[in-house]
Chains A and B, each alone.
Chain A
Amino acid sequence: MAITRSAPADVLVPAPVAAADFGDAVAAALGQGDRLLTLCRLPGGEVGAVCDAPEGVRGWRAAGDGPLGRPSASGVVAALHDEARLEAEGVEWSTPAPQVRVHGAGVFTFPLGPVRADVAECAAWRLFVMGDEVLGLHMGFGYKTRGMERAMAEAGPEAGVLLAERVTATSVVAHAVAYAQAWEAALGIPPSPGAVAWRGVLAELERLHSHLGDLATLAASTGLPVAQAELILLREQMLRLNQDVTGHRYLRGVVGVGGLRRRPERGALAPARLTDMLATFAAVIDELDGSTSFLDRLHGAGRIPAAWAAAVQPVGPVGRAAGVPYDVRTDRPYGPYLRGAPAPALETDADAWARYRVRVREVEASVAWLLERLRSPRALDEGPVVPSQSLPAHPVSGAGATAMALGRAEGPRGEVCYLVSPAGAWVRVRPASAVNWAVLPPAVAENNVMQDVPIIDASFGLSVAAMDR
């Protein structure tokens, strides 16, 4: 089978556009059906945008000062949160701010956070309610902006991967792989086949424990502690499997730029541990699918309005549950998925039930994919996985240095993009949650009551740490 699909990462030469025309350039691309991958402020005062087009990746940078031209509505929505970041950095983006203002007799503002729930990340929510009905949601981020991009740029490619793994604990491998692929494209150092095979195994192991945790939270939010306990027990089993295979429960410290940092333990990855997990999982899901109290709460809860789904194009399970059939593993296959990706799951209901179904099917597909890889384990044992040559000094100087490169990977929560510049020594990251947070407020405001909010929150499975990076 010949492999003719596109490369995992793309070296970019963003076209300079006058600041006033920048928005029009982005809007024109979005009008043709391209997807906005990231919109970020580049060092030196310029604003950059990267779009995913059928023929490859295209980029622009706003040359010069002045207000940026007005992009189309879809462009604004997709970049909703990055736009807030641009504003904070003093860049004027002349669009109507998508600020929620709800007022009137009987409207109550329900403040939630930054210290909220039993165990939760810090974010300040304001729910606008009238009686039981939720009218709107305003999300306040920025309580823990840790400056990860700056830290990664200062650390350089080799140590920076450790920081990329710590952007969010829900997508450790996905961030590390996207970061590594961006640097590998920029520096021209392909990883060994053994390292690529292992990256796929680690990414699917991460998907398993992440999805099991999300499903457990969902079961808990509907008041089903038995199902929650069963699922969280399976998650613990997967975390212990991770510990045995890589020495870290969350798979940190394994993926590196140019390959892996150390060879994982093949012997610990017994297929029986996966099949046992899947057998119990199937039984629990069967019980859940037969519980009307569970299904009643999920059906119709947090439905993403079709217009918002079309405009934002949410990524990951959230997107695939809303009929957006985008999966990096199948649409832009990279490294381990060039020879086949797990079977895609697609639903069109766009509600909590659809997101639940997508996650369930992805767990089954990931286990099947992993078992297939373990049946012919030669690729995992083949050749060295730790690169022998050291990386060039950081930052890379000279005329041959690549200006910009893009790396992306499909994490449990969706597509993760990294934009790196060896010449400029900077890193930008667009985590999956940065896109998906944009569809949460319209989904919450769509015929839901207060009791649905924990279910909707659990069904989205969004990361605050990825947003406040």
Chain B
Amino acid sequence: MAIVYRRWWRALRGPRTTSFPWRPSPELFPPGSRPAEVLQAPPPGLLTRSLAIRQIDVGSCGGPEAELSLLTSPTYDISRFGYSFTPSPRHADLLLVTGSLQEAMIPVLRQTYEAMPEPRRVVAMGCCAAADCPLRPAAAATADLRKVVPVHVWVPGCPPAPAAIIAGLFAAVGREAPGLKEWVKGR
């Protein structure tokens, strides 16, 4: 009986934890982070306000994935921009490549890219995706991401902060992220 009352009491009282921000955080970009770089113009397409994103890890330390898992959290919440992650590249409008490319992942990356419908946009994440990164692991030295798939936007950072990733996603469809202009001005 006590259990039943306890349940009723819980239901009436509602959840005690109400720490959700009622709007996403204004401190989007941590100090020291760099804005995304557009390497080549993304292909034009109808879908620019709602994107299905497929992430592929080609040799990361797990840091980019940790930050990506925060994109769906209340603080950043990419669903308010119409963005979502998809398990299948067949449904993906954008390929998010994390880490430094390793030999074994080249065919997997190519296959994933080929499976996507047109227009395909590619965003590379992390400083180690760049060929001149001093901390690039030894085994990756020969593989160049841009020779395997066309990379439209590069988001630097080790790992890039969630806000910087959002700005990179916006850049991949020719849009500007909220708060980006103020942040660039303030630097």
Contact = CB atoms under 8 A, between A and B. Distances in A.
Contacts of A157: none
Contact of A252 (B67, B74, B112, B158): B158
A332 interface: no
A457 to B, nearest CB: 13
Contacts of B102: 143-146
B89 A115 contact: yes
Given A114-B108, A122-B57, A233 B20 contact: yes
- Count class of interface residues, chain A: 35 or more
Contacts of B55: 118-120
Given A117-B87, A239-B70, 18 more contacts: A115-B108, A118-B85, A121-B57, A121-B60, A144-B57, A145-B139, A146-B102, A147-B138, A147-B140, A148-B138, A151-B138, A154-B138, A163-B137, A166-B61, A233-B21, A233-B74, A235-B70, A240-B27
Interface stretch (A2-10, A95-103, A167-175, A382-390): A167-175
Contacts of A290: 6, 10
Contacts of A167: 61
20 contacts: A115-B89, A118-B85, A118-B87, A120-B65, A121-B65, A122-B58, A145-B139, A150-B138, A163-B137, A169-B159, A213-B66, A213-B69, A232-B70, A233-B75, A235-B73, A236-B73, A250-B63, A280-B17, A284-B17, A287-B15
Contact of B75 (A119, A236, A466): A236
A365 to B, nearest CB: 21
Interface string A351-374: 000000000000000000000000
B112 A119 contact: no
Interface residues of B, number: 51
Contacts of A236: 70, 73, 75
Contacts, number: 144
Contacts of B58: 122, 144
A249 B108 CA distance: 30
Contacts of A240: 27, 30
B82 interface: no
A466 to B, nearest CB: 8
A117 B68 CA distance: 13
A243 B28 CA distance: 13
B104 A169 contact: no
Nearest to B88: A115
